[in-house]
Amino acid sequence: MDDRQGIDEPTVPDIALIELLANILEALDALELGGVPEAFRAASKQRRGTSPVEIQQIRHRAVFYAEALVRKASPVNDALEKVADKFGRSADAIDEWRELSWAR
């Protein structure tokens, strides 16, 4: 008898979501261990400057990583410091972005 009766096989969207979550967890683990995950690496630019949309996306990404570290039981200040260090900003700046993101 199959113990998996009643359990559906994962669909393509399920697998994609699982892979995305696994990548996020790996990036957070690397960050905690002092690594620089791909998400934190600067992309090469072919044009000068950064658009307002890109700036907002970067800020959202920083807030997301800080919140994820807090949810993994890192103290808020430690999470802000780790993310700030990788994004080249102050912990206060990340905290300000965090406050602004919750205000919406």
| Stretch among 84-88, 95-99, 100-104 having the lowest mean pLDDT | 100-104
Residues in CB range of 59: below 8 A, 6 or more apart: 97, 101
The CATH label, of 2.120.10, 3.10.450, 1.10.10, 1.10.287, for the domain at 50-104 is 1.10.10
Instruction: Write out the H or E segment, with its range, that includes residue 26.
Output: helix 12-32
Please give the model's pTM, rounded to 2 decimal places: 0.54
Q: With 0-12 CB in 10 A as exposed, 13-18 as middle and 19+ as buried, what is 44?
A: exposed
Residue 32 is predicted with a pLDDT of 82
63-80 pLDDT, tens digit per residue, is: 999 999 999 988 999 999
